[in-house]
Structure 1
Amino acid sequence: MCHDGSGEHPEAPEPANPTASRRAFSRLLLAGTGLAALSACAPEAARPTPSAAAAASAAATSAPVTATPSATATTTAPPAASVPASPAATAPETAPPARSTVKPRHSLTDPASPWVVVNKHRPLTPAAYVPAALVQPRVRLATSGEAALLNSTTAAAAEKMFAAAAGAGVTMTLASGYRSFATQTSTYNGYVNSRGQAAADTASARPGHSEHQTGWSFDIGDGGGACSFQPCFADQPAAAWAKANGHRFGFVVRYPWMLHDITGYYYEPWHLRYVGVEAAGEMKARGITTLEQYFGLEAAPAYR
């Protein structure tokens, strides 16, 4: 969901380019559940080797793929090598916290609401929704065109967050922002044509199911440009800083580590979602890392 990937992230990745889909990494983890668990929980010396990861990748290619949730979906795919160590790997969020009893003060269905929840069970209404006020934030850009836009509220918060990060010596870039229904349709169809629908659903959000379309989400990059839309991005300064401090500006990492059975997407340390300082702060304080759990909604691992 990041371009949606990049789409949804990438955010700005090309569906026809397998090495550009962060969903390719999702398929690697899906095929090698044991490998993912080992990478997340084992000490450095015990983590899988490139050859082991390659074997898991081969298994993923031959095994059927099930559909997964909505959010944002297209990203550049990591090379089929071993899963890199990351901050998440040393401290995985494997045990989902108890659900919140929060009573929503904003709509969870209106796409103009900062608390709207978009996933594989909860499409946007209307499907072709367009934010009323899209602006280009005054931040460092690693993209252009519509992907450089956010809704005005998210843009203002992003400017404050990027400035604070810069003050701490961390350079962030806006790698992928708004994605229209038409752009998401083109991105998703590209995946379907090249890989089939089952595989496409693991790499890109279906049109009308992407957070990027709301203007409340965007993908970040690191100033050094390393590991964009790849698992190793979790180790980059921008990702680490955003995860630790994003809540102060109203942002959460929408697809946290090892909670894909709830969100429908594997870990995307680059995909941030604006929910407001109050909600983001409470989620941080209570250890609740998904919007589904925070608002007491059902998990959405796949399309119905």
Structure 2
Amino acid sequence: MRLASAVTSTVLASTLLFSAIPAAQAAPDKDLPAIESSQLTDASSMLALINPTTKLSPENYTPSKLVNVAGTGMQLRSEAAKAVEQLITDARAAGHSIHLLSAYRSYERQAALFNQYQTKYGTAYAERISARPGTSEHQLGLAADLGYTNSQAELKSAFGQTPAGIWIAKHAVEYGLIIRYPDGKEEITGYKYEPWHVRYTGKEHAKALAQSGAETFEEYFTMLGEASASKKVKATAVAEDEEQDSSAPTDTDSSEESKKSGYGVMKDDDLLVLRFLPPYRDWGFGFSE
């Protein structure tokens, strides 16, 4: 499954979609995980980007291999489910009663939820706190909303200041999860701060994002796109150089051309003659044939 045409290539992803995104301090290409360009354009990829301006195609996309998250009736893709299960287990062991509030949502379920918010709060505010159907990470089966038992801060920005919220922010990367909508980055992500919303990218990319200088997934996605495009350009240049080298004259060809033009190779006898010539003599003669 492919994302919307707005993300049909790595180059478009890095130049068109994010031209308005402030540049992060990019890590050198060698520090970013190597990827295939399809990982940035395929809805089934762990790196698929979904936001208010990037829709799924088809809009009613359903991920394969959804599994139940242990102890709940909610589903995620298997890799994400294992990560969330382990995070919850370890958080509880650390004294934080974290539980799962929401996981995979179908297109139809997201449509109903958005309409509910739209009716209650109006379109403008609904778009800040909820995704329109076809643009929700929950539809990817990679996102989860986490709550805190007996907390008055559930699904509120204050959750980020609770012991549970602080623990999640500190340890999420260890499970391949990121806080998808960080504080103060609404202009980039399209959504207000959601410290309870985690997104699975895999451990390698979660760690690379944290080390890259990017503060949002959008910025990291752009870095990956630019690095991928740069590597393609370099590979093309190397291939062209190799092709030119293979068609260049060989030493043997050069030697034959020299002989035809009347210029031979210097021999020992020539060196002997030159040794005894005074420096003011004209040495403008050809060497031995």
Could you state the TM-score of these two structures normalised by the residue count of structure 1?
0.60
Q: Distance in 1 between matches of 2:150 and 2:212?
A: 33
Q: Distance in 2 between matches of 1:256 and 1:111?
A: 23
Whether 2:64 is the aligned partner of 1:104: answer: no
Count of aligned residue pairs for this structure pair: 199
Q: Which residue pairs with 1:119 in the alignment? A: 51
Q: CA deviation at 1:181?
A: 0.2
Over the residues paired in the alignment, what is the CA RMSD in angstroms?
2.4
Which amino acid is the alignment partner of residue 67 of structure 2? V
8 Å contact from structure 1 (residues 161, 249) kept in 2: yes
Q: Is the alpha carbon distance of 1:228 and 1:195 closer, same or farther for their aligned partners in structure 2, counting shifts above 3 Å?
A: closer
Whether 2:54 is the aligned partner of 1:128: answer: no
Q: CA deviation at 1:173?
A: 0.5
Q: Which residue pairs with 1:216 in the alignment? A: 142
Q: Is the alpha carbon distance of 1:222 and 1:192 closer, same or farther for their aligned partners in structure 2, counting shifts above 3 Å?
A: closer
Deviation sequence 1:226-263 (CA, Å, 0-9, x none): 31111211122221111101101100000001011110
Q: Distance in 2 between matches of 1:195 and 1:172?
A: 28
Whether 2:194 is the aligned partner of 1:262: answer: no
* Correspondence for 2:171 among 234, 239, 245: 245
Q: Which residue pairs with 2:227 in the alignment? A: none
* Correspondence for 2:96 among 170, 189, 194: 170
Q: Is the alpha carbon distance of 1:194 and 1:266 closer, same or farther for their aligned partners in structure 2, counting shifts above 3 Å?
A: closer
Q: Which residue pairs with 2:240 in the alignment? A: none
Q: Is the alpha carbon distance of 1:261 and 1:112 closer, same or farther for their aligned partners in structure 2, counting shifts above 3 Å?
A: same
User: 5+ residue gaps in structure 1?
Assistant: 1-94, 298-304
User: 5+ residue gaps in structure 2?
Assistant: 1-21, 224-289
8 Å contact from structure 2 (residues 212, 220) kept in 1: no
Q: Is the alpha carbon distance of 1:198 and 1:138 closer, same or farther for their aligned partners in structure 2, counting shifts above 3 Å?
A: same
More helix by share: 2
Q: Which residue pairs with 2:132 in the alignment? A: 206
Q: Runs of 4 or more off by more than 6 Å in structure 1?
A: none
* Correspondence for 1:157 among 75, 83, 97: 83
Q: Distance in 2 between matches of 1:290 and 1:169?
A: 29
8 Å contact from structure 2 (residues 26, 212) kept in 1: no
Secondary structure of 2:178's counterpart equals strand
8 Å contact from structure 1 (residues 107, 113) kept in 2: yes
Q: CA deviation at 1:194?
A: 4.2
Q: Which has the larger radius of gyration?
A: 2
* Correspondence for 1:284 among 210, 216, 221: 210
8 Å contact from structure 1 (residues 134, 215) kept in 2: yes
Q: Distance in 1 between matches of 2:122 and 2:182?
A: 26
Whether 2:132 is the aligned partner of 1:182: answer: no
Q: Distance in 2 between matches of 1:195 and 1:168?
A: 37
Q: CA deviation at 1:200?
A: 2.8
8 Å contact from structure 1 (residues 253, 270) kept in 2: yes
Secondary structure of 1:173's counterpart equals strand
8 Å contact from structure 1 (residues 99, 295) kept in 2: no
Q: Which residue pairs with 2:118 in the alignment? A: 192
Q: CA deviation at 1:195?
A: 4.3
Secondary structure of 2:171's counterpart equals helix
By relative contact order (CA 8 Å, sep 6+), the higher-ranking structure is 1
Could you state the TM-score of these two structures normalised by the residue count of structure 2?
0.63
Q: Distance in 2 between matches of 1:179 and 1:267?
A: 20
Q: Which residue pairs with 1:236 in the alignment? A: 162
Q: Distance in 1 between matches of 2:101 and 2:149?
A: 10
Secondary structure of 1:220's counterpart equals strand
8 Å contact from structure 2 (residues 26, 213) kept in 1: no
